[in-house]
Amino acid sequence: MAFNTIRKLALAGVLCFTAASAVAETFVFTAIPDEDETKLVERFRGVADYLSGQLDVDVRYVPVKSYAAAISAFRNNQVQLAWFGGLSGVQARRLVPGSEAIAQGVEDEAFQTYFIANTHTGIEPSDTLAELREPLKGKTFTFGSKGSTSGRLMPEFYVRDTFDSKPADFFKRVGFSGNHTRTLRLVEAGTYDAGALNFKVWEKEQADGNIDTEAVQVVWKTPAYPDYQWTIRGDVNDRFGDGFKQRVTQALLDLKDPELLESFPRSGFIPASNEDYEPIRKTAEEIGILD
């Protein structure tokens, strides 16, 4: 029984206990820290408010400091729902039997990584990564988080596949910035010659006028692959009532608030399934990220 309903019944004298003693269990979710923390807190507090209204339960967003922390929180049932990247979602679902990918952004069905370079390197945009073998060889390069699909998994796959070499052997120096925004700033400042980041972060920062296009540019775009998704634990119906998983799924699919969607940024959410992320699982196994 929802908290609001209990409270109304209590006030009407139907129940013999007070509303204060009938506090409903809280539905908690988190998200991988792929951008600046301030932006994430603002975004997901909005999502929490929206879900609370749709589900008629208390919903709380809990920020975490790393991709691994997000996966651990999900595994330990500290959170029941998470906004994961493709790889972190695969890792989390492997650890929690019965968990499911339930929704992805419209743009996540065909996601991309952008390879960017500081303009002082002289590296010019190319339609193929093979053409950038010589321009990139021996340069410094930064990925995002070690657990990021768009910031590490897929760009590393293409480096290995195209150059037949591990990143550490191909580049002069390899770094891991921790998040996409940081990758952009490091390459823009010339701290690294080049880097790999989520194409939606590039597009959003560019639209907001936050990129010095005289200092950094996109030099290659990967083929499309599946990425971010909402993943939910399989035991939520036991904890929150029959049909709760479907109600959460439908609430996410029905999210239409333009301002909230823009903060992701996504144009909307569409259904997703675990099977959609099989290419990510196979790629992660191929390059040794998954055992």
Write the secondary structure of the chain as one string of H (helix), E (strand) and C (coil): CCHHHHHHHHHCCCCCCCHHHCCCCCEEEEECCCCCHHHHHHHHHHHHHHHHHHHCCCEEECCCCCHHHHHHHHHCCCCCEEEECHHHHHHHHHHCCCCEEEEEEHHHHHECEEEEEEHHHCCCCCCCCHHHHHHHCCCEEEECCCCCHHHHHHHHHHHHHHHCCCHHHHCCEEEECCCHHHHHHHHHHCCCCEEEEEHHHHHHHHHCCCCCCCCEEEEEECCCECCCEEEECCCHHHHHCCCHHHHHHHHHHCCCCHHHHHCCCCCCEEECCHHHHHHHHHHHHHCCCCC
| Alpha-carbon gap, residue 61 to 48, rounded angstroms | 6
pLDDT of residue 24: 58
For 216-227, write each residue's pLDDT tens digit: 999 999 999 999
For 99-149, write each residue's pLDDT tens digit: 999 999 999 999 999 999 999 999 999 999 999 999 999 999 999 999 899
pLDDT of residue 188: 98
| Alpha-carbon gap, residue 230 to 101, rounded angstroms | 6
**Band of the pLDDT at 79, cuts 50, 70, 90?**
very high
| Cβ count within 10 A of residue 80 | 26
CATH 3.20.20.70 for domain 3-109+227-286, yes or no, is no
User: Terminal CA-to-CA distance of the chain, rounded, Å?
Assistant: 43
Whole-number mean pLDDT of the chain? 90
* Token duo for residue 43: 């975004």
| Cβ count within 10 A of residue 26 | 12
5 or 170: which carries more pLDDT confidence? 170
Residue 166 has pLDDT above 80, yes or no: yes
pLDDT of residue 242: 96
| Alpha-carbon gap, residue 35 to 33, rounded angstroms | 6
Q: Do domains 3-109+227-286 and 112-221 have the same CATH topology?
A: yes
Domain ranges within the chain, ordered by starting residue: 3-109+227-286, 112-221
**Band of the pLDDT at 244, cuts 50, 70, 90?**
very high
Residue percentage of the chain with pLDDT more than 90: 84
For 6-47, write each residue's pLDDT tens digit: 333 333 333 332 333 234 589 999 999 988 888 899 999 999
User: Of 226, 228, 232, 227, which is closest to residue 100 (Cα–Cα)?
Assistant: 232
pTM equals 0.78
Lateral strand order in the sheet of 173-176: 173-176, 140-143, 194-198, 113-118, 216-221
Of 2-6, 233-237, 262-266, give the lowest mean pLDDT range.
Answer: 2-6
CATH homologous superfamily for the domain 112-221: Periplasmic binding protein-like II (3.40.190.10)
